[in-house]
């Protein structure tokens, strides 16, 4: 098996725990180097061990870049701590090294958190994630299957919304020009959409009951999700990356 699929095949629960621990750990560091080094390390990890569609990755990063710039600018403008050496002035506006480091830290933290979120979202199968939560983290089957059915309903609801909108346009409905008229006209689509969602949920509940689903824990599963040596290897790489970037950021501050 190619190492380009290792992250995709990694145990979802273990991956989720590593992502959560990494985010909580990075929240305690306020130097700019730790999140920057961690962000670059995560990109390298995806290059080596994933087959992520980088066009999609860059599209997701576009709003994140604007968010990071917003954090950078607002921190420079409204920083509570303005101590330190002045490194830049513009009229009466001054920027100290403390303000600059804090602003960069928050901006790079956005990149670090977003990179971990995208790593998990783009390399994890939602169904396997829910199955792993039940098998490794002992999540209640009632909650797990409820979440999984709700997640699978999202594309169905989206397609149903598009069909209803097209049907209305064929009948000459929904061509209002003003924004408030369009908002009021949304109820014409939301009511049948809600009714269809209720009918689909009822059919799904009957189907699960007909197949013997009771919500009790099972000793066997159709698809067994386990943790193997390759999963621990990837987890160790992420932990080493987190510790290494934390130590390096602390020494370089």
More confident residue, 169 or 177: 169
pLDDT tens across 113-125, in order? 999 999 998 999 8
Q: Give me the phi and psi of 88, to 5 degrees please.
A: -160, 140
Between 248 and 175, residue with greater pLDDT? 248
Question: Residues 84, 48: one domain?
Answer: yes
Q: 98 with 54, same domain? A: yes
- In a domain, residue 32? The reply is yes
Q: Three-state secondary structure along the chain?
A: CCHHHHHHHCCHHHHHHHHHHHHHHHCCCCCCHHHHHHHHHHHHHHHHHCCCCHHHHHHHHHHHHHHHHHHHHHHHHHCCCCCCCEEEEECCEEEEHHHHHHHHHHHHHHHHHHHHHHHHHHHCCHHHHHHHHHHCCCCCHHHHHHHHHHHHHHHHHHHHHHHHHHHHHHCCCCCCCCHHHHHHHCHHHHHHHHHHHHHHHHHHHHHHHHCCCCCCCCCCCCCCCCCCHHHHHHHHHHHHHHHHHHHHHHHHC
Asked if 188 and 239 sit in the same domain, the reply is no
Window from 132-146, 154-168, 180-194 with minimum mean pLDDT? 180-194
Q: Which domain holds residue 118?
A: 3-124+228-252
Same domain, 116 and 233: yes
pLDDT at position 126? 85
User: Quick one: tokens of 118?
Assistant: 């995208």
Residue 55 lies in a domain: yes
User: Are residues 197 and 94 part of one domain?
Assistant: no
With respect to residue 169, please indicate whether it lies within any of the assigned structural domains. yes
Q: Specify if 108 maps to a domain.
A: yes
- For the cut 80, the answer to whether the pLDDT of residue 172 exceeds it is no
Closest CA to 168 of 183, 185, 150: 185
The reply to whether 162 and 59 lie within a common domain is no
Output 134 or 1, whichever has higher pLDDT. Answer: 134
- Count of domains for the chain: 2
Q: What pLDDT was estimated at residue 174?
A: 59
Domain identity same for 58 and 107: yes
**232 and 107 in one domain?**
yes
**Are 60 and 114 found together in one domain?**
yes
Q: Is residue 50 part of a domain?
A: yes
- Is residue 157 over pLDDT 60? yes
* Residue 139 confidence (pLDDT) above 90: no
Task: Say if residue 37 is in the same domain as residue 102.
Answer: yes
**pLDDT of 182-221, one tens digit each?**
666 677 777 777 777 778 777 777 777 776 666 666 666 6
- 84 and 21 in a single domain? The answer is yes
CA–CA distance, 125 with 8 (Å, rounded to integer):
8
Residues 9 and 119 in one domain: yes
Assigned domain for 133 exists: no
**Structural domain contains residue 117:** yes
The pLDDT score that the predictor gives to residue 244 is 94
Q: Is residue 130 part of a domain?
A: no
| Reported pTM | 0.77
């Amino acid at each position: 098996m190619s190492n380009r699929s290792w992250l995709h095949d990694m145990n979802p629960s273990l991956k989720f725990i590593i992502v959560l621990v990494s985010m909580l750990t990075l929240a305690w560091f306020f130097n700019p180097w730790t999140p920057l080094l961690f962000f670059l390390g995560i990109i390298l990890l995806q290059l080596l061990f994933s087959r992520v569609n980088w066009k999609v990755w860059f599209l997701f990063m576009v709003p994140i870049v604007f968010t990071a710039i917003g954090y950078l600018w607002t921190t420079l403008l409204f920083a509570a701590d303005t101590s330190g050496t002045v490194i830049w002035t513009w009229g009466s506006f001054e920027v100290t090294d403390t303000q600059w480091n804090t602003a960069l830290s928050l901006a790079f933290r956005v990149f670090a958190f977003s990179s971990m979120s995208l790593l998990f979202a783009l390399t994890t199968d939602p169904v396997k994630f829910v199955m792993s939560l039940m098998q490794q983290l002992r999540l209640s089957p009632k909650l797990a299957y409820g979440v999984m059915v709700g997640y699978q309903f999202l594309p169905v609801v989206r397609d149903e919304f598009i069909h209803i909108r097209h049907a209305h346009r064929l009948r000459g409905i929904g061509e209002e020009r003003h924004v408030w008229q369009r908002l009021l006209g949304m109820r014409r689509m939301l009511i049948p959409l809600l009714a269809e969602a209720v009918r689909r949920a009822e059919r799904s509940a009957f189907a699960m009951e007909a197949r013997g689903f009771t919500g009790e824990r099972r000793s066997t599963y159709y698809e067994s999700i386990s943790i193997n040596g390759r999963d621990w290897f990837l987890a160790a790489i992420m932990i080493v990356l987190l510790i290494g970037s934390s130590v390096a950021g602390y020494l370089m501050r």
